């Protein structure tokens, strides 16, 4: 790890550049999901290359975001009527990342201005797009807030402030914890350099999450031959039920 950081620091000194730019590295750009997958961790590290000494003020800040494939989500509100909980209102979220993590070198509000957040869609609420809601719903933003709350509880939405280590305004590193419940796809990774809340440089790459082994076979079967996949699922369910029944019969003897 120290050797990699040294190489990045050397690049920052020797490569020609204008202003401040990012030299990035990833511990791995591929995550493989198999039957034993229980999450992973990606190390993001890099350096800032510049053609002049770094200004002392305002200090440099680093923001790292990782976004999973976007999904359309329907969020429903429940209300208690006549002693039972029922769905009353629903709002469709047009685009929400299946996974979203933000890591910063300081508080996000100190790293990024509101204007820059609107422009680059960095914060979790900005990463979610809900174009419209039924006219009967006046507080549609609460549905997006509910989605964020649910996703945050399952660690699928993360705000990790102060977790980016920044050495000498040049070398930075952080780790992103990926939960077990990942969907397959490209996870867009963005790095922002900011000063005084303004973005001075940004870099984008991708982490590839793919199913392998049995997971890949079942996924492909479900997409290409839904009928056979259904029969296989039924057979497994019957076998599991018969096996459990046989075990209980033996234990009762």
Sketch the domain layout of the chain as residue ranges: 2-211, 213-253
Q: Identify the CATH number of the domain defined by range 2-211.
A: 2.60.40
Identify whether the C-beta of residue 103 lies closer than 8 Å to the C-beta of residue 144: no
The first and second tokens of residue 25, run together, are 């590295």
- Whole-number Å distance between alpha carbons of 66 and 53: 30
Looking at residue 8, its pLDDT comes to 47
Neighbours of 48 (CB within 10 A): 25
Residues near 204 by beta carbon (within 8 Å), at least 6 away in sequence? 188, 189, 190, 191
The structure tokens listed for 218 are 């079942």
pLDDT at 2 over 70: no
- pLDDT for the residue 97: 94
Q: At what angle do helices 213-224 and 226-252 cross, to 10 degrees?
A: 120
pLDDT band at 18 (very low <50, low <70, confident <90, very high): very low
- The C-alpha atoms of residue 246 and residue 238 are separated, in whole angstroms, by 12
Q: Model-level pTM greater than 0.85?
A: no
Q: Which one is predicted more confidently, 183 or 108?
A: 108
CA distances from 130 to 26, 72, 78, 244 (A): 32, 9, 20, 46
Q: What is the helix (H) or strand (E) element at residue 217, kind and residue range?
A: helix 213-224
Give the three-class secondary structure for 54: coil
User: Regarding predicted confidence, which is higher, 142 or 136?
Assistant: 142
Report the candidate in 40, 72, 101, 62 with the shortest Cα–Cα distance to residue 200: 62
- Picking from 38, 30, 42, the residue whose alpha carbon sits closest to that of residue 181 is 38
Q: What is the pLDDT of residue 125?
A: 92
Give the pLDDT mean for 236-241.
Answer: 72
- Residue percentage of the chain with pLDDT more than 90: 38
Return mean pLDDT, the chain.
80
What pLDDT does residue 169 have? 87
Of 62, 89, 60, nearest to 74 by C-alpha is 89
């Amino acid at each position: 790890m120290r050797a990699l950081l040294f190489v990045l620091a050397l690049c920052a000194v020797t490569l020609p550049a204008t202003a401040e730019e990012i030299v990035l590295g990833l511990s791995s750009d591929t995550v493989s999901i198999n039957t034993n997958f229980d999450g992973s961790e990606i190390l993001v590290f890099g350096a800032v290359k510049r053609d002049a000494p770094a200004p002392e003020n305002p200090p440099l800040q680093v923001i790292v975001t990782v976004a999973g494939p976007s999904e359309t989500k329907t969020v429903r509100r429940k209300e208690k009527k006549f002693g039972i909980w029922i769905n009353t209102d629903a709002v469709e979220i047009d685009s929400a990342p299946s996974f979203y993590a933000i890591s910063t070198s300081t508080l996000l509000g100190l790293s990024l201005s509101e204007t820059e957040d609107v422009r680059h869609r960095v914060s979790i609420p900005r990463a979610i797009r809900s174009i419209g809601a039924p006219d009967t719903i006046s507080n549609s933003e609460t549905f997006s807030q509910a989605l964020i709350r649910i996703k945050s509880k399952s660690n699928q939405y993360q705000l990790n402030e102060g977790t980016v280590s920044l050495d000498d305004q040049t070398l930075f590193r952080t780790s992103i914890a990926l939960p077990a419940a990942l969907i397959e796809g490209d996870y867009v990774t963005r790095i922002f350099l900011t000063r005084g809340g303004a973005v001075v440089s940004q870099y984008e790459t991708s982490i590839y999450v793919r199913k392998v082994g049995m997971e890949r076979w079942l996924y492909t079967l479900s997409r290409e031959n839904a009928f056979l996949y259904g029969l296989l699922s039924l057979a497994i369910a019957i076998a599991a039920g018969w096996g459990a029944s046989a075990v209980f019969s033996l234990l009762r003897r």
